[in-house]
Chain A
């Protein structure tokens, strides 16, 4: 059947068709929907959210060692977290096919950094496959699992925002039933003690040679001869952009972008007048081609920072042809439009936390989640964001060197389970004094509301044990643990004051469910009484998108957006904001 599918849907479908028995991962844009879509096949396979990518990876390794086919999914930074098991598993190697699906985000649409996951190929000496549309996304999962079994290696399928979140037509197929052989004891193969690891190390190099020969003949690497003036090597979405902007040029399409097919590249280079490498992010292929002594162009005509666009390709073409590209003129009517960055939703519980924190002007070491949206004005509440779970260690380090302002680390519930716990153990163990604020909205919100160990529900929809953040903190040795409602400003402020002043580490849980996840408003719609309002702007400073305010007038609450959280009312010095009884709620 032909179906329109996003790259992520196609990957999920591909995994099911190829007989995957276990799919595991941790959410992260743009990879999240792979596991969300695989749930549709839960009668045929196991799928799980792990608390972080490292655990997810290890779960997949266990399944592979037992002979089952498995995929593990994550965003690019997730593989940094899982790098430790990756590097050693690359040596012991897979039994049941194991594909690591890693999703890059060139241009950083929803990420804290930009990195090119193709680098893991040469680093771990394992194959990297790069689909360039949804059909290939589906097909490469099966091919990757087969490669993985044939060469006893983990295989990376690298996708990107424009593959994962683009839709195109896919021909679906049937499922091959899984046939796990079960675990067969073989310590020299699975136990990475130095004596055996040295042997594994040699096998890795031998495997790489065999993989190069596979790459030379792989059906997913192909030379497409057209006009011979230019020959372009490209993979992934970049291949599509090239076909669009330069339909007449010859192409070498790399479906397997590591290891490189040396002979194929040499042959292609010899059959065109000028060789060009068009690759997004790092110049990996270009560096390799140049190491072969082959002249080529690439980085001189396309940038290595950010995402490619059709305009960049049109310009590249103009540079190759040595003409001037005609770029459309900017529209003057849109030059001064106000920016519209993403913001905390109306009624978001994180807004209460920031409104309370602001009072004490602390240094806030932030973390990654919806609460990152408190960074920009008017909340302007975060002083740093590094990596998931990083808030706690950073706060501790800063406090230890004698920072004078109170130091607070703030992180979300999903982030707490991801990598916050070891940081807390560290703070307590090393006698730190920082205050840790867990903004517990009962879900992994930023990535689109996924369950985690604190929600009491699994990816497959079963009820399960609900891990308690408070109990974990106490078990780590935190003596001062308390739980508050972030919609109650006075209480929250009082509690934060006490904990900041306390001469020991403390942990405050600000607990309230994300209203977007709960699909219900927090309370009743509020309105501003124009008579009472003195236009002081205090309510505007909490940055609620439902409060509309133009300079020189009094603020208004948009009833279509208001969630009735009452935070603005608590901020108003004139009691001008109250619940509104005429309007019918429509959330």
Chain B
């Protein structure tokens, strides 16, 4: 692979986007690629929309992904993927969690949460995997690993061997959570089939 692969990950502050991007970046590095990532910390983490970007390939210059050029998108929330849809190349893989988190702007009457988020995703993303990752995570006993479930699904669209993902998970999470996270990852892969 000589070209650079660009991945966009979005969600709501507190959903675990930073860990998700860390794992992808580690996996790519373990495969011997040059890697660059970026994410915004600070203010964005207080329940706002958050985005992380990971790029890997032989030699990566910009840490930022150009709109319309991303090779895959993962969204931890139902409408945040739509918000970032313009980043994706036509036809590229989109993995979207069906979980809806209602923003305070909606509760205070400043906007409306679309009732048709699933239909919208289907029409915008021709290559869509949309499922309830929170439910899968809950079945594993911890809704906090929904981010890893989504990463599992995302991994099916990227040319990185599964063992490297697993190794990256081992490197990135606390030892006592490794098994849980590996399982969540595997469940995500199955959900994408």
Contacts and interface: CB of A to CB of B under 8 A. Distances in A.
A541 B107 CA distance: 9
Given A166-B36, A244-B61, A337 B43 contact: no
Nearest to B39: A165
Contacts of A55: none
Contacts, number: 185
B103 interface: yes
A256 B107 CA distance: 50
B41 A340 contact: no
Nearest to B46: A342
Tell me which of B40, B43, B82 has the highest count of chain A C-beta atoms within 10 A of its own C-beta. B43
A330 interface: yes
B38 A331 contact: no
Nearest to A333: B120
A341 B35 CA distance: 29
Tell me which of A30, A340, A540 has the highest count of chain B C-beta atoms within 10 A of its own C-beta. A340
Interface stretch (B109-117, B147-155, B185-193): B109-117
A578 interface: no
A205 interface: no
Nearest to A29: B42
Interface string A533-571: 000000011011101111100010010100000000000
B104 A165 contact: no
Nearest to A27: B42
B25 interface: yes
Given A4-B26, A110-B43, A339-B110, A168 B35 contact: yes
Q: Which 6 A-B pairs have the closest CB atoms?
A: A338-B111, A328-B68, A29-B42, A310-B66, A342-B48, A110-B42
A342 to B, nearest CB: 4
Contacts of B49: 340
A390 to B, nearest CB: 18
A333 B61 contact: no
Interface stretch (A183-191, A235-243, A280-288): A235-243
B44 interface: yes
A299 interface: no
Contacts of A551: 109, 112
A161 B40 contact: yes
B66 A550 contact: no
B9 to A, nearest CB: 13
A440 interface: no
Interface stretch (A42-50, A370-378, A397-405): A370-378
B122 to A, nearest CB: 10
Nearest to B79: A337
A245 B65 CA distance: 11
A341 B48 contact: yes
A499 B36 CA distance: 53
Interface of B: 12-13, 22, 25-26, 29, 34-49, 60-69, 79-80, 82-83, 85-86, 102-114, 120, 123-124, 143
Query: Which secondary structure characterizes the binding site on chain A?
Result: loop
Contacts of A174: none
Contacts of A344: 46
A2 B25 CA distance: 13
Nearest to B116: A333
5 contacts: A32-B41, A109-B43, A338-B79, A345-B46, A550-B113
A533 B58 CA distance: 60
B108 to A, nearest CB: 4
A149 to B, nearest CB: 32
B41 A165 contact: yes
B104 A543 contact: yes
A162 B85 CA distance: 22
A340 B50 CA distance: 9
A328 B120 CA distance: 18
A541 B105 CA distance: 11
Given A4-B35, A240-B62, A377-B110, A109 B44 contact: yes
A343 B47 contact: yes
Contacts of A206: none
A334 interface: yes
Contacts of B103: 338-340, 545
Contact of A378 (B38, B86, B108): B108
Contacts of A370: 46
A138 to B, nearest CB: 15
